[in-house]
Amino acid sequence: MNDVDRLLAILPDAWRSEVESPDELTEFVLDLGRPFEVRYGREKLFYEEPEFEVTRTILAEALSKLGSFGPDNRAGMDRTLHRISRIVNRTGETVGLTCRVGKAFLGCVKIIEDLVSSGESILLLGAPGSGKTTKLRDVCRLASTTLDRAVVIVDTSNEIAGDGEMVHPAVGRSRRLQVPLGRTQHEVMQEAVENHTPEVLVIDEIGNRDEAEACRTFAQRGVQLVATAHGKLLEDLVNNPALRDLVGGVKSATLGDEEARRRGTQKTVQERVSTPTFTVVVEIIDYNTVAVHSNVAEAVDCLLAGGEVYPQTRVMKDDDWETLAPARNRAPKPRSHLNEERPQRGQRRKGRGRWRN
């Protein structure tokens, strides 16, 4: 029995046999009083016949084949990546289930394998569904087996190593700490480093200042960090007050007249505060394409100065990756009007209707 069959096993036999193309299945939905719904990516299929209406009996039978639900209303199956989420009514009774198929894609980290091997801390960005967690899972396998490093996973929503008690084989020899409540994730991160001495700490979804500050502390201790965060682009992090510390932080600075003229900028500018916690940022464009910022400090400085940043673009071809576009940064053009000489005493200022005496 494969993983998909184990998830489909919670359905009645007659319903299970009606599911087309199980290998392409994304998720199915059971809502009380509504038709059975199956989803293949963005395509939705509804079984409108009366015999496919979801009843309390159907829900009860499905729940009997699942483990217990946590405070986040999620349950899982041991050694699978499937995620089952429930909807409850005001009395706590389950009235709906969303059963999402979890799949591992071994080898998908090949496109950034050199970055992981380097020991640099890496932050993965991308839109929802772009494959951040899938690549993060394969990083765990690579680091714990091929590179033989001690890897500890802080599994925020149990999507990396599965939602059951035993971890999925796709993470190799990595160890996993589950997070009971989202707001305590930074405490679990600290526990992982202090109690289990990882060489590599893997974190899914850094989302607030506490977690960002914890990452900075661990990086200073020499732990390699590999994590995901909210945002699609490096600019998103720079503009996010809660997460910008991951890439060095931002502060306002006031320049002297001479320095402002030399830079060709205004006197009040934004500057990076410190060394980035994550020295490499990878923007996931799609499953086979990524954009790599291999020098985050330089890229952030360029963005804060008003310049343009072009990361290295990589794409998978057959069994290896190739570079579509090399990395380069374009500095901003000096503001010529800021470099003009200030008027001397007694001279009339351009556009002003008065004299300086």
Stretch 9-19: mean pLDDT: 91
Percent of the chain with pLDDT over 90: 57
- With a CB cutoff of 8 Å and minimum separation 6, the contacts of 221 are 193
Average pLDDT value over all residues in the chain: 87
Q: Which of the residue ranges 14-18, 69-73, 132-136, 300-304 would you say has the lowest mean pLDDT?
A: 69-73
pLDDT single digits (tens) 112-125: 999 999 999 999 99
Q: Say what the alpha-carbon torsion angle 130, 185, 162, 68 is, to the nearest 10 degrees.
A: -130
Residues 6+ apart with CB under 8 A from 111: 288, 290, 314, 315, 316, 321
**pLDDT tens digits, 183-224:** 889 999 999 999 999 999 999 889 899 999 999 999 999 999
Does position 30 have pLDDT exceeding 60, yes or no? yes
The pLDDT assigned to 151 comes to 98
pLDDT at 5 over 60: yes
| Sign of CA pseudo-dihedral 90, 93, 99, 100 | positive
pLDDT of 72 over the 90 cut: no
For the chain, the 3-state helix, strand and coil shares in percent, each to the nearest 5, are 30, 30, 40
Q: What is the pLDDT of residue 264?
A: 65
pLDDT at 349: 42
Question: Structure pTM?
Answer: 0.79
78-129 pLDDT, tens per residue?
A: 788 888 999 999 999 999 999 988 888 899 999 999 999 999 999 999 988 7
Model confidence pLDDT, tens digit, residues 286-322: 889 999 999 999 999 999 988 899 999 999 988 889 9
Residue 267: what pLDDT?
Answer: 67
Instruction: Report yes or no: 20 and 28 within 8 Å, Cβ to Cβ.
Output: no
